[in-house]
Amino acid sequence: MCSIGEEDFGDEGGAHAMIEDIKSLEIVDEICKKCSNEKSVINIIYAMCKTCFLHYVTHKFRASLSASKIVPSNSKVLLNFSGYAPDVCILDMIDKGLLLEYHKKLRFELEIIYIDEDCLNEGNDINDLKRRYERIDKVKKILEQFVKFKCHYSSIANKYIVLPLDDIKENDMNAVINDEIKLLAYLKSLKSSTCKQDYVDIIRNENLRHIANQLNCQFVFLTDTTIDLAKRFISNMALGRGSSVAFDVSFCDDRVKSIRFLRPIKNVNMIEVESYIKLKDLDVIGAQKEISNTNQLSIQNVTSQFIDGLQQNFSSTVSTVARGCSKIAPYKKSNQSNHVNGEISSKLNQTSASVTDINQRCYLCKSFLDYQNSETLYAIEFSRFVSEAAADIEHILKNTEKIEEKAMSEVNSNENEFKKHLCHGCRNIFIGSSDDILAEIFQ
């Protein structure tokens, strides 16, 4: 059968065709198209000199902040920093922005958090304090390139430990090792790399919120670039997180009102970041933050490789995906008109209305609960019960309503106090794990 569906053709017809990149980043002796003065050093949309290019990247960063007007003067902002190119790029722009003259000056106070995730990489020996300290020392050196900011150290395994980064000594890391062992043991009880990575992403956000709160910061800057958004958009869709993906790819993630996550360089791509770093000769740990254990097959890793592949030859597709991120909304419209077809939605709504209201949040990821009227989740549960009963079709015919009730009850998790408080994506983290493992997160 022809694989082309009618959904393939918009009003633009085949304008949707995937466009292969024309590789023309090379610069022939050209004059900067912007200032028509200096010799160009880079060709992004057009040939630009160093000054104009740096201005262009900085403008993207500052425009996102000024357009949103979310950060009031004198706010305290926490930057999530691990020393990679995007982190250093944004820090450099803030560093320079704070020194500018009156009307251009950035008006917030910045502190920096370094979250130690060394333990997550399975190849690493967490007890090798020397190696671990070298890493932190490297981060400290990178930070020395800038004005003195208050820098803090924490571990992914314990959000309560927040130490001044400068004072960290080799032996201080003994303080987190026990927590790291505990975290690793917990991760081991989750059934797949996909689940583990998803869980870590959630606790990282949770830790950032907690630490920001402790440090009296109302905002956290995340250093996601265009390609990070594209990857997260698609992998979160595949993880079943469609209802909350907008929070994870938008400029402002305000699912928790008191601590908002901002992504001020989401419109900057990796070529721009790397060129910025190169032109300013900045020291970094690496180009892009590597995900731990990339050799393992997981939804996130396979998506990441898929997008990296597109970036190689179809980079405009990556920007298209990232642009799509700005068209989706995290909040539900007041009138739910999504699933009007079928009686199932009304039934599901009736049974769930008493249990949960529409604004109830997921205990883990803090997004809205999304299972109440899902016909798709119902279809999965129905499938499970009908498989169990499939030996006797007469029985199914006679007991259809009972099977339907059981399936609906499963979707709404009437029997499981824990699952009731989790969105579909977070429930997926615990696929195949025992209820005890699930119960632990509620303690």
Q: Is 238 in the site for another protein (CB under 8 A)?
A: yes
Cβ neighbours, 10 Å, residue 201: 19
Angle, to 10 degrees, between the axis of helix 174-189 and the axis of helix 193-214? 140
297 is a contact residue toward another protein (CB under 8 A): yes
Residue type, 130: K
Q: Are 230 and 322 in contact (CB under 8 A)?
A: yes
Structure tokens given for 231: 């990857």
The residue from 29, 333, 354, 434 that contacts another protein (CB under 8 A) is 333
Contact between 396 and another protein by CB under 8 A: the answer reads: yes
Q: Which does 45 bind (CB under 5 to 8 A by kind): another protein, Zn ion, none?
A: none
> Per CB under 8 A, does 247 bind another protein?
no
Q: Does 18 bind another protein (CB under 8 A)?
A: yes
Residue 160 interaction partner, one of another protein, Zn ion, none, beta carbon < 5-8 Å per kind: none
- What's the rounded Cα separation, in Å, for the pair 153 and 136? 9
The CB-of-227 to another protein minimum distance in angstroms stands at: 14
Give the N- to C-terminal CA distance of the chain in Å, as an integer. 53
Selected from 156, 364, 408, 438, the binder of Zn ion by CB under 5 A is 364
Which of 93, 307, 426, 429: binder of Zn ion (CB under 5 A)? 426
Of 315, 378, 430, 438, the one binding another protein (CB under 8 A) is 378
Q: Find the shortest distance in angstroms from Cβ 194 to another protein.
A: 6
Q: Do 442 and 418 touch, CB atoms closer than 8 A?
A: yes
Q: Does 229 bind another protein (CB under 8 A)?
A: no
DSSP code, position 46? S
Distance, in Å, from the CA atom of 75 to the CA atom of 214, rounded to the nearest integer, reads 15
Evaluated on CA atoms 267, 272, 277, 280, the torsion sign reads: negative
CA nearest neighbour of 272 among 219, 211, 345, 322: 322
Q: Which residues contact 436 (CB under 8 A, 6 or more apart)?
A: none
Task: State in angstroms the smallest separation of the CB of 144 from another protein.
Answer: 41
Out of another protein, Zn ion, none, what residue 35 binds, judged by CB under 5 to 8 A for its kind, is Zn ion
Task: Please state the closest distance from residue 387 (CB atom) to Zn ion, in A.
Answer: 9
Q: Is residue 358 within the footprint of another protein (CB under 8 A)?
A: no
C-alpha span between 244 and 101 (Å, rounded): 40
Examine residue 357 and tell whether it contacts another protein (CB under 8 A): no
Return the residue matching tokens 């090798």.
128
**Backbone dihedral angles phi then psi of residue 87, each to the nearest 5 degrees:** -65, -45
* Sequence-separated (6 or more) residues with CB below 8 Å from residue 172: 163
292 binds, among another protein, Zn ion, none (CB under 5 to 8 A by kind): none
Q: Which window, 10-18, 69-77, 123-131, 284-292, contacts another protein (CB under 8 A)?
A: 10-18
| Residue 52 vs 246, nearer CB to Zn ion | 52
How far apart are alpha carbons 106 and 95 in whole angstroms? 9
User: Does residue 38 bind Zn ion (CB under 5 A)?
Assistant: yes
Is residue 402 near another protein by the rule CB under 8 A?
A: no
Distance CA 176, CA 17 (A): 51
Pattern 42-61, Zn ion, x by CB under 5 A: -------x--x---------
* Residue closer to another protein, measured from CB, 119 or 246: 246
Q: How far is the CB of 266 from another protein (least distance, A)?
A: 15
d(CA 363, CA 176): 25
Give yes or no for residue 362 binding Zn ion (CB under 5 A). yes
- Radius of gyration (C-alpha) of the chain in whole angstroms: 25
Q: How many CA atoms lie within 13 A of 190 on its CB side?
A: 23
| Of 395, 441, 443, nearest in space to 186 by CA | 441
- Among another protein, Zn ion, none, partner that 364 touches (CB below 5 to 8 angstroms by kind): Zn ion
Q: Which position among 34, 132, 159, 241 is part of the footprint of another protein (CB under 8 A)?
A: 241
* Touching another protein, residues 310-329 (CB under 8 A): 310, 317, 320-321, 323-324, 326-329
Residue 333 DSSP class: P
Residue 434 is a binding residue for another protein (CB under 8 A): no
- CB closer to Zn ion out of 364 and 403: 364
Minimal distance, residue 337 CB to another protein, in Å: 11
User: Among 27, 331, 357, 442, which residue interacts with another protein (rule: CB under 8 A)?
Assistant: 331
- The answer to whether 67 contacts another protein (rule: CB under 8 A) is no
At residue 100, φ and ψ (nearest 5 deg) are -65, 165
- Contacted by 182, from Zn ion, another protein, none: CB < 5 to 8 Å by type: none
Query: Is 406:382 a contact under the CB 8 Å cutoff?
Result: no
Q: How many residues bind another protein (CB under 8 A)?
A: 81
Binding site for Zn ion (CB under 5 A): 32, 34-35, 38, 49, 52, 362, 364-365, 423, 426
